[in-house]
Structure 1
Amino acid sequence: MKRITWFLLLPFCGILLTLKPLSAQRAATHSGHPPPPNILWIVSEDNSAEYVGCYGNKMATTPNLDKLASEGVLYENAFASAPVCAPTRSTLIAGVYATAMGTQHMRSTYPIPDFIRFFPYYLQQSGYYCTNQAKKDYNTVDQPGAWNESSKKAIYRNRRPGQPFFAVINLGTTHESSIHNSIPAAQLKHDPEKMPIPAYLPHTPEVKHDLAQYYDKMQQMDAQVGKILDRLEKDGLAGNTIVFYYGDNGGVLPRSKRFVYESGLRIPLIIRFPEQYRYLSPANPGTATDRMVSFVDFAPTVLSLAGIKIPPYMQGKAFLGSEKQPPAVYAYGFRGRMDETYDMSRTVRDSRYRYIRNYMPDRIYGQHIAYLWEAPSMQSWEKAYKEGRCDQIQSAFWQSKPPEELYDIRNDPDNVHNLAGDPKYKAVLISMRKANAAWIRHIHDAGFMPEAMMAERAEHAGTTIYQYVRSRAYPQEKILSMAEIASMGAPRDLEKLMEGLKDADPAVRYWAAYGCVLLKRKALPARQQLSALLDDPYPDVAIAAAEACYNLGDTTRSINRLLKALDHDNDKVRLHALNVLRVMGRGALPALPKLRALQQSPRIVKGETYGQRTIDYIISNL
């Protein structure tokens, strides 16, 4: 442990066994053990660890968080599971990776099995009073009964006398929307000209201003934390409450939130243990630990602290309490659809390196996302790139991705020097590649089916996505193997891809077609097979085949197949087709009349936000 200075500073059958009645807890209290602790979560939105003073940032103005770190334990290696709120909160509330439940795509509400309970349910069953103020955003069908109270006014004060509580207070002050409208420079507390700019961003006035404004928002959030802790003290509860402070994902400048780099996934985490629960702490107050922890671990950890047995379906491991597990070697993360834009990456982080596997490497990092582009810094970066004012590192964001990335966090905190092709790091690359492959198989990652196909196959089987990918009907190994081959984009694998185009499973056919997309003209020998797949009964397969055929010169049939997909009943099929049309640039011009008609259709205008955004963007560029 390292000293820190505060000013720098399956399934359902096992569930009933997890619950400890409150009467048993009271009996434990009479036997000399302390009563169950209160647990308070203070959650800030969209901020990486780098913006908090106790993590070493002298520019940050966060005295309350720095003080909290001096009284508690600072986690140096804490990570969100996804670089955006809803999918990572899905992981957080269930103790199961969103990719294992099919809840990895932004703003989706696919159901999960009944036996997967939002974890406050178990706390309630054990006698806790559970409150949430007020954000949920769990990216699945809600379970309102998980909370005694969930509202902007929900507070632990409404519990019975002596009843232990678990309370969550969400602070939206630092959300990315806080920089969408620029505050006049004269009103800022932090000087834009003194801002530390990451290597991947150009030094535009907008980038500097957004960052200074964000530091101001961090200062405001820190003051809110101070008031919450003061209230806890005045209520006489500080002495029996374990306090967590953490950020819900990274942010907030471009290439942080939504991206699987340190800036998007590494979060601040501070935990303070009052004196009577000091035995539960991993270290003395004012120290830091380098233990790897991830959001999937938070639910089992809270249950462990409360003395509740952890349900066997949870994929996370408790890092505190009675069921504390040995430290993990890796923290895993994922990226799926971000609002209207499809992409797919998985990432593995150990104590020094971050490995990223890009399964859609031809899609540039900087795919347009309407909400992200509301930030002046994002707009200025794109403008600087188009005007040729970005260096090689800053320009990489606007280019296609390599299939694999590897970064030495110790020497490259901005993650800009990809070591995946460096022979000196071959052993590290292979080791982390294997870790990723093992992880996606172990958790039964559902993201290796296109979104519409994923939902349709589970629905057709009459079950949830989580259960479907664990059934005999789902050929996991065959699908994952084809995805790994296809996404490398190697011409030597064309024969394997052509075999995959004939496979009985639609997900295998999809990945084989997508592999041909990456090969472009080098996929010419597969042209006849790809053309036949334009009539595939699964539209996601046909859309991938249409993009591959377009690259091979069959533009008319390809565009016509995409236009047909725009009339499909499933909005995610339509969104998939729109994403391909967007990639085509001016090649999508024949689709313009159809897009203009859709732009005015009641379906798009009234409810299909992501479709509307994509159509508007395509039309504006045509």
Structure 2
Amino acid sequence: MNGTGWGLVLLCGTVFLSQGQAAETSRKNIVFILADDQRNDVLGCYGNDLIQTPTIDQLASNGVRFENFFCETPICSASRATLISGLSQRTHGYNFGEPAVDANYIPTSYPAYLKASGYRTGFTGKYGFRFSKNDRKQQFDFFKPYDRNPYLKKMPDGSLRHETDLCADAAIEFIKGNPKGQPFCLSVSFNASHAEDSDLRPGFHFQWPESTDGLYEEITLPSPKLGDDKYFEALPGFLKDEGELSRARYFWRWDTPEKYQVNLRAYFRMITGIDNAVARILAELKTQGLDQNTVVVYTGDNGFLMADRGLAGKWNHYDQSLHVPFIVYDPALPEHKRGRVVTELGTHLDVAPTIVEWAGLSKPAVYQGRSLVGLVEDGLVADWPQEVYCEHKFKRYNNWYGVRGKRYKYAVYYEEPDGPYECLYDLEKDPAEVANLAANPEYADVRKDMVRRLDAYLNAFPEASGKPDNKE
């Protein structure tokens, strides 16, 4: 490929991005793509040699890939509220069974904020949370939600079409309908690769689109990276309970070799199906002549345990629940800045500030993260945080909050019957998070420092009252 144009090249039936410069005189278009239940290492560009994700891999090789990116909260509904609002779960307060996000935060949600500045805003897929007032018209010019249950939707002609493909259809419809010269921000929020919780049959529990039928069928997939019994034995006692959410769902999905192989193949097909859908969206950008000024972002809403530690799902403090992919393709990046890997820590709190800066707007004061634009463009930002704040509050799980740095991780399950349960790991010596050092006197100073860092976030992020007074 040459560097004179940002085109789309068809290679083996897959759409790839080539390189070039964005028009400097117009505001950037933004396509934000979100997968469900996808941790970082289930993409080829993150080192997975078995998964087929050529389109997303090409975004990374022609863009910037973040090596240490984490969700703020490892559950879909609260995570999506964080992404759109720019607020921690602690502050927006949302999860299943909790009050809606205060409607006072609608104007600073990135879709509403960009829409008010002249952007055309669109959304398709899984929205996953709600504000305390009807917010759709204030946030979006185009809104086509799709969810699973079932994934395969019956069409007017009687055929079945997968949610992933319907999301791509809607994205293409939005792109085709965009008025010439108007900047846009499109959010594509796939429900895949979330399991179909209402159907526990192996191979149906993870329902893939037609485009990936038969894929991976001849492959024997490797055992989970952390599948040895020692990882289960190292869990806090309350996470070993067979009635506990992530343990119970292990028996839904992964507890026999046969079930593990069938379900993991199906899960991989869902991810490749997303890759195919992304290729279609990128092709439409090219067809409409919008490719040279459109930033494309790809991430996941939270991580995912695929039998690691004898668990399923997410929800806990381990990296398998928190570590997500984050890839940015900006056609304005010069050749020598493409294909870089950023090692600074990032979090979903940084997404809304980043989108707002790409739109040329000032960051709302309520946002709790920092823009990633400097890391994307230059690779260096002064005084970048040395840790990220993560948390999870859910009525059906053990509640915790913590901080994750490059060397150490500290988390506290703060509502346990016998008092707070602390976790401290030296990630340099113990990347699998097996040896809990919270009570180790040799790490007393480290623990003290991590407690200080956590307290700083708890003090800086106001806690939601749980009683928004602006309901409709």
What TM-score do the two structures reach when normalised by structure 2?
A: 0.73
1:278 alignment partner, one of 307, 319, 333 = 333
Indicate how the Cα distance of structure 1 residues 231 and 116 shifts in structure 2: closer, same or farther if over 3 A, else same: closer
1:26 corresponding residue in structure 2: none
Partner letter of residue 31 of structure 2?
L
1:438 corresponding residue in structure 2: 456
Asked if 1:121 is matched to 2:117, the reply is no
Asked if 1:429 is matched to 2:427, the reply is no
Asked if 1:181 is matched to 2:201, the reply is yes
Structure 2 residue matching 1:151: 3-state secondary structure: strand
Asked if 1:343 is matched to 2:371, the reply is no
Indicate how the Cα distance of structure 1 residues 248 and 417 shifts in structure 2: closer, same or farther if over 3 A, else same: same
Indicate how the Cα distance of structure 1 residues 90 and 198 shifts in structure 2: closer, same or farther if over 3 A, else same: same
Query: For the residues of structure 2 that align with 1:115 and 1:57, how far apart are their CA atoms?
Result: 39
Query: For the residues of structure 2 that align with 1:256 and 1:37, how far apart are their CA atoms?
Result: 36
**Identity level (%):** 28
Query: For the residues of structure 1 that align with 2:25 and 2:216, how far apart are their CA atoms?
Result: 45
2:34 corresponding residue in structure 1: 43
CA shift for structure 1 position 413: 3.8
Asked if 1:212 is matched to 2:205, the reply is no
Indicate how the Cα distance of structure 1 residues 415 and 188 shifts in structure 2: closer, same or farther if over 3 A, else same: farther
Query: For the residues of structure 2 that align with 1:169 and 1:193, how far apart are their CA atoms?
Result: 29
Q: Does the 8 A contact of 2:37 with 2:302 survive in 1?
A: yes
Q: Greater relative contact order (Cα 8 A, min sep 6): structure 1 or 2? A: 2
Count of residues paired in the alignment: 378
2:56 alignment partner, one of 19, 43, 65 = 65
Structure 2 residue matching 1:194: 3-state secondary structure: coil
1:333 corresponding residue in structure 2: 390
1:157 alignment partner, one of 171, 176, 186 = 176
Q: Does the 8 A contact of 2:125 with 2:191 survive in 1?
A: no
Query: For the residues of structure 2 that align with 1:212 and 1:175, how far apart are their CA atoms?
Result: 14
Q: Quick check: which one's helix share is greater?
A: 1
How big is each residue's C-alpha offset from its partner over 1:514-570, in whole Å with a ceiling of 9 and x where there is no partner? xxxxxxxxxxxxxxxxxxxxxxxxxxxxxxxxxxxxxxxxxxxxxxxxxxxxxxxxx
Structure 2 residue matching 1:239: 3-state secondary structure: helix
Q: Does the 8 A contact of 1:193 with 1:208 survive in 2?
A: yes
CA shift for structure 1 position 343: 2.6
Indicate how the Cα distance of structure 1 residues 188 and 226 shifts in structure 2: closer, same or farther if over 3 A, else same: closer
Query: For the residues of structure 2 that align with 1:418 and 1:212, how far apart are their CA atoms?
Result: 33
Unaligned stretches of 5+ in structure 1?
A: 1-31, 364-400, 447-453, 465-622
CA shift for structure 1 position 402: 6.9
Partner letter of residue 64 of structure 1?
T
2:141 alignment partner, one of 148, 162, 172 = 148
Partner letter of residue 359 of structure 1?
Y
How big is each residue's C-alpha offset from its partner over 1:383-421, in whole Å with a ceiling of 9 and x where there is no partner? xxxxxxxxxxxxxxxxxx971112233444433332223
CA shift for structure 1 position 136: 1.4
Q: Does the 8 A contact of 1:175 with 1:252 survive in 2?
A: no
1:407 corresponding residue in structure 2: 425
Partner letter of residue 402 of structure 2?
T
CA shift for structure 1 position 83: 0.5
Indicate how the Cα distance of structure 1 residues 431 and 299 shifts in structure 2: closer, same or farther if over 3 A, else same: same
CA shift for structure 1 position 92: 1.1
CA shift for structure 1 position 353: 2.3
Query: For the residues of structure 1 that align with 2:427 and 2:177, how far apart are their CA atoms?
Result: 45
CA shift for structure 1 position 113: 4.8
CA shift for structure 1 position 187: 5.3
Query: For the residues of structure 2 that align with 1:418 and 1:209, how far apart are their CA atoms?
Result: 34
Task: Indicate the structure (1 or 2) with the bigger Cα radius of gyration.
Answer: 1
Partner letter of residue 82 of structure 1?
T
Asked if 1:230 is matched to 2:283, the reply is yes
Q: Does the 8 A contact of 1:263 with 1:414 survive in 2?
A: no
CA shift for structure 1 position 256: 4.4
Q: Does the 8 A contact of 1:48 with 1:251 survive in 2?
A: yes
Query: For the residues of structure 1 that align with 2:320 and 2:57, how far apart are their CA atoms?
Result: 20
Indicate how the Cα distance of structure 1 residues 39 and 287 shifts in structure 2: closer, same or farther if over 3 A, else same: same
1:21-32 aligned at under 5 Å gives the runs: none
CA shift for structure 1 position 34: 2.7
Unaligned stretches of 5+ in structure 2?
A: 1-22, 146-169, 207-212, 233-253
2:319 alignment partner, one of 236, 259, 262 = 262
Structure 1 residue matching 2:104: 3-state secondary structure: coil
Partner letter of residue 41 of structure 1?
F
RMSD: 3.0
Q: Quick check: which one's strand share is greater?
A: 2
Q: Does the 8 A contact of 1:255 with 1:264 survive in 2?
A: no
Structure 2 residue matching 1:245: 3-state secondary structure: strand
2:167 corresponding residue in structure 1: none
Partner letter of residue 150 of structure 1?
F
Partner letter of residue 135 of structure 2?
Q
What TM-score do the two structures reach when normalised by structure 1?
A: 0.56
1:77 alignment partner, one of 46, 68, 72 = 68
CA shift for structure 1 position 317: 1.4
Structure 2 residue matching 1:278: 3-state secondary structure: coil
1:312 corresponding residue in structure 2: 365
Q: Does the 8 A contact of 1:95 with 1:300 survive in 2?
A: yes
- Indicate the larger mover: 47-56 or 231-240: 231-240
Structure 2 residue matching 1:54: 3-state secondary structure: helix
How big is each residue's C-alpha offset from its partner over 1:136-184, in whole Å with a ceiling of 9 and x where there is no partner? 1234334112011110535133222111110111222311228843129
Indicate how the Cα distance of structure 1 residues 204 and 354 shifts in structure 2: closer, same or farther if over 3 A, else same: farther
Structure 2 residue matching 1:347: 3-state secondary structure: strand
Query: For the residues of structure 2 that align with 1:425 and 1:216, how far apart are their CA atoms?
Result: 44
Indicate how the Cα distance of structure 1 residues 195 and 228 shifts in structure 2: closer, same or farther if over 3 A, else same: farther
